[in-house]
Structures are given as C-alpha cells and as structure tokens.
Amino acid sequence: MQIRPAKKLDLFPVYLFDQLDQDKAKVEATGADVIDLSVGDPDRETPAHIVQALCEAARNPDHQHYPSYRGLPVFRKAIADWYEQVFRVTLDPDAEVLSLIGSKGGIGHIPSALVDPGDVVLIPDPCYPAYKPGIVLADAKFESMPLYESNGYLPDLKAIPASICKRAKLMILNYPQNPTAAVATREFFEEAVAFAEQNEIIIVHDAAYSQAYFDGERVISFLEVPGAKDVGIEINSMSKTFNMSGWRVAYAVGNRRVLAALGKVKSNVDMGVFEPIQIAAVAALRGSQDCVTQMRSLYQGRRDVLVEGLRSLGWKVEKPKATFFVWLPVPEKGKPSGVFASEVLQKAHVLITPGKGFGDCGEGYVRIALTVEEERFREVIQRLKKSNFVY
Ligand SMILES: Cc1ncc(COP(=O)(O)O)c(C=O)c1O
C-alpha cells in the first residue's frame, strides 16, 4: 500500500534544527570535531536538588498514574507564588495557571484552541520556528510582523494594515526574543495591550527566556502591564531557567478563558506532565534561586568572551541583554546567511544558525548560541581566525 502523508505536511519545512543536525553529521563523518553553537539547549546539568525531588517522587506509587491535565494543585500554586515573587503578578492558581508539556507543546496547541479556518495569526519575523506548524494545523494563516534592528526588533503595530487587523484573531510575541535577543520595553507591552483591545486580538507572549537576562537588568513579564490579563496569556518554561529542557515541563498563565480553551484542546489530545516532574518543578520554583543567578553569570561570561573575541576579528557585534544568543549581521556584506554559515561549518567546523532559518527578515544575520563552555568559545575564535574569517 502506498502511504500518502496529509497534504498539510507539504506546508511544513524540514525543521530548521533537523536540517542543521544533518549538516553537522556530514562534517563529523569526516572525523572533524564540530563545535555546535546552533541550538539554545542549556548544556549544564539540572541542579541536584531538582533531580533529587524527582527521584523521591518517582518512588511514590501515588505519582505513577495518569497525571491531571491542568497540573497538580501544588505545582500551580508554586507557579503563582513564583510569579508574585519574581514579577509582582498575582495569579489565581485554579483558573489562571495551566501546566504544559514544554512550551513548544502549548505553542503548538494554542491556534487550535483559539482560531478558525482562515483566521489570521500575527507572528514576528524572524521568530522561533515552532510558531508556524500549529497555525498550519489549525487551517489558519500567518502574517508576519517584521522585526528590524532600527526599531529594536519590536514590531511596528501601526504598520499592520487594517484589513489584516480585521482578520487577525491572535498575535504571538516573544521577549526576550529568539533569535534577535531583543528585550521589550514596558511601553511596547502597553502599546500591544491597547492594540489588542482595540482590534480584539488575543496576545500569547512566549517568555521562555524571562530569567536569562544580563548585567543585572531584569526583564519584565507581559502580565506586569495593566490590562494584559484581559487580552492574553504568557507561556513560561522550566527549560532554560532551571536547565530542564529534557524534562518537558512548562506552563501558561493569564487570561482564564484562553487557558480554559487551551486546556480543552490539551485534555483531548495530550496528557498532563508526569507527576514526579511536576514535584521536581515545585522544588525548582520554591527552592533557592542561586542556580538561576549562576546561570545568568555563566552565560554572561560566555557572551563577553565570544563578543570580545569576534570584535577582535573585526566582526560587528553587539552584546545581547538577554537570551542564550548572540545575533549579528553576516560580516561579509551581501552574502546569504546560509552560505556564510555553511562556509563557517566547512572551514572552521563551527555550527552557527543562518538567520534566514527564522524568517525572511532574518536574512543577513546569523545566530550563535552561548551553550558551550568559555574555553570552547576561545577555541571558536582561534578557529575563525585560522580560517581567515577576519574583517
Ligand atoms: C522562544 C522559545 N520559546 C519556546 C521554546 C521551547 O521551550 P520548551 O523547552 O519549554 O518547549 C524555545 C526553545 O528553544 C524558544 O527558543
């Protein structure tokens, strides 16, 4: 029998990082030691007290059954308390908090919960590639909001045509932003809330990097802005803040009607998070936050080594204020980002991500993840120098 996948799948590109993995494997097959600076996956281990909580909870037979869809009450309360402590945002753990199997899972389901076929979803360009598939699966359409360096990588909401605003039901925002590393101002979030109210557009703010900020300048939550809870939700994750990317645990907070809709989709198509993982997440949220402070200084140190090293080779690069990424223009003017990244991989055996992979507006840029040790960044600079990536 011939198996024919759904036509919709033709609309999915090969997932960016799958493609990069294949490119890397080809170079590694020649015996090369590739330094992989492509994915924003924390390289350090999950703090011991979190692992310990998982192990203890896993031994308890009460935690070995199907988990609740919305999340254990103790987990939802810990999230609400953490939001109060970190952002001064008050949440009702019963109705304004929902557990997710990673933010990617929540992001994938959100369009099915909120949009009808033909509705428009506004997404940033460049953006995290996982925003598009959920929109395609919901038979909706996405419209890009270009992010330009000249505007601090904030979308110009006034430039969105009225005809698109009319058809738009949902807007996805993400600050600190992947891939540009930009941080939103309070004024921008205020403008976004007013825009959402005026045009009846629900906002989903992806705050996966909310704790990965540098130089002591904390970043704000979307929900800190008055009225935000009336127009949308924020998705936050344990992955980056607590080095828990493999654990698949995250949560959505904010507007109760949006969360109820998302919860309805989830209860029908997936499950809750394994309870011992939720218990471990409680240990992370309620325990000492020293590990989070250490995470920030670790990435800040790497950022400084990388940026200063690249500058010494004549590259034009700014120090990011947040995220695990450095976003910089391709140093050879006019060269496509894919060609440049491929040359860096072939000659220096360093894997970086072409900006085009994040959207058309990412062309002309590359993204470098800060997810290897400082020593390896020194080696990256040596290799780039040796391979003559000097300007
Ligand atoms: C902007 C952004 N949102 C969400 C995610 C996914 O996070 P999670 O591990 O919670 O699915 C990532 C992962 O890289 C990301 O960059």
Q: Whose CA is nearest to atom 3 of ligand 1?
A: 208
Q: Whose CA is nearest to atom 14 of ligand 1?
A: 40
Say how far apart CA 160 and CA 139 lie, in whole Å: 21
Report which ligand 1 atom has the smallest distance to the Cα of 239: 9
Q: What is the pTM of this model?
A: 0.97
Residue 16 has pLDDT above 80, yes or no: no
Q: How many angstroms does the Cα of residue 324 sit away from the middle of ligand 1?
A: 11
Q: How many angstroms does the Cα of residue 331 sit away from the middle of ligand 1?
A: 28
- Tell me the average pLDDT of the chain: 96
Q: How many angstroms does the Cα of residue 207 sit away from the middle of ligand 1?
A: 9
164 contacts: CB under 8 Å, gap ≥ 6: 120, 122, 143
What is the pLDDT averaged over residues 111-129?
97
> What was the pLDDT predicted at 69?
87
What tens digit of pLDDT does each residue of 142-169 get?
999 999 999 999 999 999 999 999 999 9
Where is pLDDT greater, at 217 or 18?
Answer: 217
Cβ atoms of residues 201 and 195 within 8 Å: yes
What tens digit of pLDDT does each residue of 39-62 get?
889 999 999 999 999 999 999 999
Say how far apart CA 133 and CA 15 lie, in whole Å: 10
What tens digit of pLDDT does each residue of 361-391 get?
999 999 999 999 999 999 999 999 999 999 9
* Domains by residue range for the chain, with CATH: 9-38+290-386 (3.90.1150.10), 48-286 (3.40.640.10)
Beta 325-329 vs 365-369: how paired, if at all? antiparallel
Residue of 193, 260, 256 lying closest to 224 (CA atoms): 193
